[in-house]
Amino acid sequence: MSGILYLVPTPIGNLGDISRRAAETLAAADFIAAEDTRVSVKLLNHLDVRKPLVSYHEHNRRESGPKILERLLAGESCALVTDAGSPAISDPGEDLVRLCAEAGVPVCAIPGPCAAITALSVSALPTGRFAFEGFLPAQKKERRRRLETLTAEERTMIFYEAPHHLRQTLADLAEAFGGARRISLCRELTKLHEEIARMTLAEAVSHYAENEPRGEYVLVVGGAETGEKTVSLEDAAALARELIAGGMSKKEAVRQAAAETGAPKNALYSEILRDE
Ligand code: SAM
């Protein structure tokens, strides 16, 4: 009979957030698969758990995953942990869960800390329906395309971001959704310097133009208002181009196209300038 793969969430900052069941599962597993064994050893020492560790991360999952599966099929049980939070949520694990499911190995997820859900709960934005977007693509073109697909999204959206990309991401979000959209910046959740800043995207852009982003962030962004105009930037630009071709000045064409479509004026202007 095969063993079980346990997905064990670990604290996102405050060690007190490890649950009793998570600790018991780590202590009972035959071996632990960790994203970074050096990080996990600290937690395991804190819990006084000594177990054989194997490494399972983004760059070795193709080789490591089948080896873990083999041990599970042979009857051993494995606890999967990542550096912080819930495995498989913007973290290694998704592939291993799929491998196990395909091979008929039971997977058991222990509930626990997750930065996305912690941030959503405290965001003061609607929580009834939400879309988890994780990290936006790093590549400019891909990122733009992803954001375009989200301009009409009515659900609250959750993004992860690293501090050194925060300014660019806020600028991109403001360009895609307009500066008036609400955002809750949830920083250093569960840690000493936890901070929840609720403002508009335009305010967030100017705040971080003057203040250095520090620590870990989850960005929770309000969805589009029902009935909010959802014309794509491309369609708005096409309208502006038509107006320009009809003899209108660029400035006036952008103003009118923005007013008619609801597209953000700055983004529309940059789009038109790209034609030159
Ligand atoms: N699997 C993890 C989870 O369940 O939360 C997420 C891992 S993802 C690689 C790391 C990202 O999560 C960070 O870049 C940040 O956006 C967010 N994050 C993790 N811990 C956080 C914290 N204490 N406060 C704010 N954001 C955090």
- The residue-averaged pLDDT of 177-197 equals 97
Question: How far, rounded to the nearest angstrom, does the alpha carbon of residue 109 sit from its chain's CA centroid?
Answer: 20
Residue bearing tokens 């632990």: 32
The closest-lying atom of ligand 1 relative to the alpha carbon of residue 190 is: 23
Q: Please, what is the end-to-end C-alpha distance for the chain in angstroms?
A: 67
State the pLDDT at residue 88.
98
Measuring from atom 2 of ligand 1, which residue has the nearest CA?
Answer: 85
Are both 216 and 243 inside the same structural domain?
Answer: no
- The residue-averaged pLDDT of 95-104 equals 98
The set of protein residues with a Cβ atom below 6 angstroms from ligand 1 is 12-13, 82, 84-86, 89-91, 114-116, 160-162, 186, 188-191, 216-218
The count of domains in the chain is: 3
Contact status, residue 237 vs residue 273, Cβ threshold 8 Å: no
Question: What digits encode the pLDDT tens for the residues 4-15?
Answer: 999 999 999 999
DSSP string, 218-263: EEEEPPPPTT-----HHHHHHHHHHHHHTT--HHHHHHHHHHHH--
Q: For residue 227, is it within any domain?
A: no
How far apart CA 141 and CA 159 sit, in angstroms, is 18
- The residue-averaged pLDDT of 191-198 equals 98
Are both 144 and 61 inside the same structural domain?
Answer: no
Contact status, residue 72 vs residue 3, Cβ threshold 8 Å: yes
Name the residue range of residue 251's domain.
Answer: 233-273
Q: For residue 37, is it within any domain?
A: yes
